Structures are given as structure tokens and as C-alpha cells.
Structure 1
Amino acid sequence: MEGVTAKRKRISKKNKKAWRKFSDTKDVEDFLDEKRQEERIGTFEHVPDEKLFEIDVTKQDVKEKILTRRREKFLRPYRSLEVLQPSTAVPDPITKRNKGKSAEERKSAFVKKMEERKRLAGRWANKHATILQNRSLSDEMRKKRIKRKDFDTDLWAETPASGPKEGVDANWLRKSAYVHVLANTGNRMTLRPKTMSLKTSVLDPVEAPHPGLSYNPSYQDHRELLTKVVDDEMKIIKEEKHLKRVITDMIPRVTQEEVEENWMKEMSQGLPEVKEPKVEEDSGVEEDKLDTGVVGNPIVTRDKKKTLQKRRKLREARAELIQRREAKLEKKKHSDIERVKLLKKELSKRDEKLKMLQEKRERVKEAKVSQPKMLSSHKFEPPEVDFNMRDEIAGNLRNVKPEGSLLKDRFKRLQERNVIETRVKQKMKRKYKRKVIEKASHKMGWEPKGYH
């Protein structure tokens, strides 16, 4: 029927869920969408005409405009700080916020006044001390003042030294100034590496050779060197015999068949043994011998309840055990009191033993000072002594036979002084990849089965 409107349906909006479901918020959402659109593309309502329209101007005005743009570009904030700027034009809904006071703002007026008094008093004391110091300095400068005279000496005629002059404080003068002056005056300073001043070992850079190594040694020195060489060789032979006895001789030599048999035994450990069934000759039927023994769980009976007499005896035994323990502890205390002298002797022996161990550690520590350190995974091996037999001694430098290598000796000495790490010569062996080329006349055109 025309003119009849539908009856408005009343809906309860008691809860938040119902309120959100049946409330019409389309007008609010449309308004917010318009605002977001304006934020994205902008509006022309509040933009002045000077920014929308451009008036034709002369060259002078163009120059001013360019300068203005450059000035605005220069004053524009950095791109890296744009993250700190708000990304929307919607104002903050909470305009008033609680701001906490700093420690300086929380101070009372009385405290601020007292701090100001202390600051002024300290400033006056410092100023007074500075005045007295300046007066004393001025008196000293007045005494040390150089009288006016004629400067007839040539400062550049003297050869500059390679370091700072005497009386010059090198703390405020940089080293680059000396380097610059010396480089331009013809006397360049040679700069040593800092690592050369480091003390890596107590040993001398070059060790004095043994007197028995001379081309014309004395009989005693030569015999002493010979004894040392023999002792070193005996140590090497003894070590080789020890390794042969505890390693080579302890490992038995077996044949290939024994190796395979031992391997089979080791691999079959834990596996069940398969026994072949016995077959009778007459019937040919296998007999299985079954065990007829009966295996079952033991009979379980309920423990009898303890009687009062048994409980009383257990209680008395427990009390007696505690009493014996206490009596034993008291007896031990009395015996410890009587053993005071013996304990003192034990403590004194213990102190002597600790003192001996400390002295031994000190001796070991002092011995390690002159020994090379482990700077790599290889242990330092001292070089062999270059020794000449009695018939090889020349007696003069002209006929002497050179022994050893000076370069190798210096290299070993650097390792012994911890200047460089201990190194071992590496054997480089190149493995060339074999290249296989198939001739065109041998190509079959198809790949055989099982060929890879």
C-alpha cells in the first residue's frame, strides 16, 4: 500500500557486540575516507594563489626565485630525519599530557640558592688561585727574560738532528713535524718498526759458538765438544730403541688369512650360533631334545605383622646405636686433644713440602724463560752441532772445510728467540686431473647397458 512505511524494528543495544553490529557508521567511515584522500592528494582550499599560479617575471626576479629555492632546499631537514616527523595531518586527539619533572626541576628554591652560593664561592677561590699563580709566573718570566741583542747567527746553517733537541718537550710537539723538517733538509729520519723494540726472549740475537768449533781448537775444548755430540747421539739412539720396543715389537705380525679369520670372529660376536640338527642314520628323522624342567615364579607369601616385643627391641637397638656413635665421637675429641703435638709436626712437614714444591716451581719457571715458546703446533727442535773430527781440522782459514749454513743457523735462532713461529717445510705435490678424450673413430653412437 502506498503511503505506508515499514515499522521501525527496535533492536537491543545493551552489549558492545550488539552495538557494533547494529549501529550505522557509514557516514563516519565516508568522512574518514575523505580525510585520508585529502591527506594523500591534498586540497586546494587553504593553498595561497602564489603557490598555485606563477606570474611571468624578469630575469632579476628569476634569479631571486632560484636563490630562494636554494635557500629553502638548504634549510630543509635531512631525509634521514623524516622518520621522526608525523606521517599524517590528523591532529593528536590528546592535547594535554602529563609531563614528568626532571631532577633539576624538582629541586626546591632553598636548595637552588645554596648550590648557587657554593658555585660562586668555588669560582672566587679558583680565580684567586689563578691570580696568585699568574703573579708567580710573571716574576719568573721577568727574571728569565732575554735581553734584546743582534741576531747574527744563521739558524739554517746547522745540520738538524734526527731527533728532538735538548730542552724541547716532545709531549706537545708531534713527531710528524720532525719527519717533515728532516725530509726537506736532506736528512731523512729512518723510522724503525715498533716490533723491533719488543723483547721476545732473554737470549742474545747471536749466540757465541763453542770453542771446539774453531778451525784450530785446543785439545780440551775439542774433547768437550765431542762428548756433547756423543751424548746427544746416544739420547737419539735410546729414544729410537724405546719406540721400537714399545711399539714395533709389541705389535705381532699376522698373515692375510689370520686377518680375515679374526675379522670374521669380531663381526660374528653376539650373533646366535646355528647348530646343525643331528640326523639318525636309520630313520633319518631329526630329534629335538626338549628340556623337561619346570620354570616358574617363586611362591610369594605375605609378611607377618611385627609384634610389640619386636618393635620395642628395634627401638632399643636404634637408641643404643646412636649412643655408641656419640660415645665414639667424644672419644675421638679427647684423642685429638692429646694429638696436638703430632698434628703440629704434620703441619710443619706439610709446610716444608709446600715450600719445596714452590721452590721447584720457581726453578722450572726460571728455566722456561730461556726456552722457546709454543707459537705453533710444531715443537722447536734445536739444530745439530756442526762437528769436525780430529783429522778434518785444517789449522788455518785457507784450508778449512765449511760446515753448516749461516742462513739456517740465523733462521733457527729467530725461532728460538720467539721472533717467528716454529715452521716445518711443506712438500707440495700437485695432483693433475686425468683428462680422458674419446676418439671420433671409436665413438659407438649408443651407450651400453650398465655403462656410467
Structure 2
Amino acid sequence: MSVVKKKKRVSKKNKKAWGKYCDIRDVEEFLEDQRLEERLGKFETKPDSELFVVDTAGDNKDEAEDKKPPISHKLQKRAKLKEVPKCFEVLLPTSKVQDPNAKRNHVNPIGSKPSALSKLREKRLAKKGVFEKKLAEAKKNRKLAIDKKRKAKQVRQNFNLDLWGKDLPESKGIPETLVDEFISPEAQLHNVLPTQRLRPKPPLAKTVVTRAAVETPHPGVSYNPSYQEHQDLLQQVGQHEQKMMKREAHLNRVTTGMFRKVTQQQKENQWLEEMSSGLPQPHNPAEDSDPPSDNEYKAINPPVKNKKKDHKARRKQKERLEEKERLKREKIDKKKITDLYKLRKLQSSIKTREQQQVEERAKRAEKRAIADATALPTLSAHKTPVKEPDFVDPKELSGDLRNIKSTTNLLRDRFESLQRRGALAASKVMMKKKRKLKSYFKPGHKVTDKDIEKYVTRSAGKK
């Protein structure tokens, strides 16, 4: 702490001022010593064996160390196993402060004591021979490592390596015809053909090579198609449109169509009914069906007579139950007999079903193999665009190329064709939406009616 020059008159009404203008070094040193004793323990309580070391070797300490037998690397590693690892020293407590809770329960760390489950697992692995297999594999790996180290230490017997060959022009790819001592190596390398000094381009994917360069369009797309080809294309387009309409109707049915439409009044009535459920309803005298009587007592439930069944009724009831049980048993026995007769039919049906499954499995495998052979390489996460069927209305058809109207963009069509053939990675059009800026009219004392009309017409035109 820096020494502060003492002033004559200093305000000490705050704690900060007392620390600034008072010398408290002795208090801080005392507190520091006290914290150190809490961490390391007091010197009075420590035994002499921790504080002092008896030197028995003397001046011949180096000679005594030399006389000790050398310890092998294996024994040194075994001795280090008892020590606490360096990574766990941070977790150990360094303070000598006593635990405030003296009756704290001691919890053994996980894995210190083998559990019943771990014992069973070890027995099961020992029966299977897993431990013996691991020992044999470790022994094999150790032998391979020793052989590898021994081979690395072997002295090289062949001395045909040219240490200065890397600096020669031939090693850089320059042919002998261009080697000249009067021309710099940079100029020589510059004159080498690109095929000799550049890395060869990797071949295209197998699926890209096998596919056609350009997909042949349908003959009905021609500017002067035949009637049959045009009708065939029209049939395909109609089927595609029906499929899309069916899909859209399905999506509408499972999303919007699942929720019934209610009016605002029905919605309010339903909300009021749900919120008022469980609350005591007010008594409405108009709803009472019976007029009030003059002190007349009337029971809510009519009296019930305890009419006992006679012997005949009980016998009839028992006979009905027995008949029902008999019919049930007869039905079960009949079903057993019919099942026995159906065994041959069931066996034949199972056999035909298994044969069908084998044929279907073979067809699926063949189809999967064809799909794998012609599958596109996954160049990006986006899906390849599906080609929409192109169709020209019969009224817009013309017999010559001069009057024909193009319905598709040629550049976009070729770009999507490259994506469908796997030559380019499939991409997604990312268009930034233009922000709509709101304009506000700031009134003032200089604004005229003409300015207001101009602003209103401009805002109406934007809408």
C-alpha cells in the first residue's frame, strides 16, 4: 500500500475516507496471516516431522544416490499409480479449515465398491471369454508395436537416394528440352504445358456420365406437332393437373376442412357457456313446471315395492341362462370343427402369400438397384427441381418458327436440366423482400389544401 501523506484536516465521515487517510497496514498483515493459518494450519499444532527434515546422508548424498539400484520404467509407472493425477489436484481441498458440519455422512465415490449388477456382468463376460480375448488382443498389439519400433530402428542398407535431386529442374516437372542454364527456373516452369504441371481434373460421377447430355422433349411440344402426339401430351398434362388438384384438395381437407366455421355470435355464446359451466345458475320461476301447492307434501321419488320373485320365475330365469350357455358352447365346438377343415385352405393361402412376398421383394431389390445406379450425387441439401410438363394451347400453335411464342425461359430450362442430371448442385432462389416504407404527412402552418390533396392522391395510387 502506498504511503499517503497525512493532511491536517481531513473529513472521515465515510468508510472510504478512513481507509484512504488512515494507516491500516498492520491490520491487513494480521488478517493475511490469519487467512494463511486457516488455509495451511497453525504452526503450533503441526508436528516436528512436517516442519523439519533430518539430514542423515550429509555430504555423501550424491554418492548414496549413485549406489541405489536403478528402477525400471515399469516400476516407476506402477509407483505413480498411487499418486493423485495432476488433473484432479485442483479438486482436492487446500484449506485446513474444519468442516462446520461435523456429523456429515461419508459417501463412497461411484465405482469404489463393486455392486451386485457389476459382479453379475463380470461373471457373464468371464463365461463368454471376453477378458481372455482382450488379453490376447492386447498381447498381439504389443507385439506389433515392438516389431514396428524394431523396424524403425533398423539401419538403412540402400544408399541410392539423391539428396540434391529435389533442386533439379526435372523434379519440378520441367522437361529436358526446356532445361537451360542461362534461363531462370521460373521462366522454364512458366513455359511448361499446363497438362504437365497442373493436377489432372477428377472424372465426373458415374451417374452423370451415363445420363444423356440433353433430355429429349416430348414430340407434342413441337411448334408443328401431329394430332396424335399433341393429344398424347394433352392426356399427360391432364393427368398431372388432376394429381395436383387431388393433392391440394387432400391438404385442404386435412387442414382447413377439419375445423368447422362458426359465426361471431355462436362463438360468443359458446365461450359464455364454457366459462359459466360449474357456476351456480340463478333460479328462474318461469321454468318451474308444477304450480306451488298449499302446504302439500310431495315425494321426489315414488315409493318402490319389494316384490319377490316366485319359484316359477326363478326356474325360468335359470333355464334361460342354461340355454344361453349351451348355445355358446355349441357355437365354439362348431367353430373348432370348421377350423379343422380350413387347415388345408389356410396352408395353401399362406404358401401363395409367401411366394408373392418373395416376388415382391425381388422386384423391390431390382428397382432399388436401378435407382442406385442412376441416382444423382448429393451435391447439396436442396432437392432437385421437378420438371413440369410443357404444353402449348392448340389455339396458339403456329406452323412456323417465326410466329411461335416461347412459353419457357431457355436459360432457366438448361440450368434446371443440369441440376436434374447432377452436373450442378441444386439451389434455391433467395429473393429479398422489399420493405414497404410508410409515408407520414407532417402538418404545419404553411400547408395548403393543395398539398393535402396531392398527398391523398399519391397515397391512394400506392395502394
TM range (shorter): 0.3 to 0.5
Tell me the TM-score normalised to structure 2 length.
0.38
TM-score by length of 1: 0.38
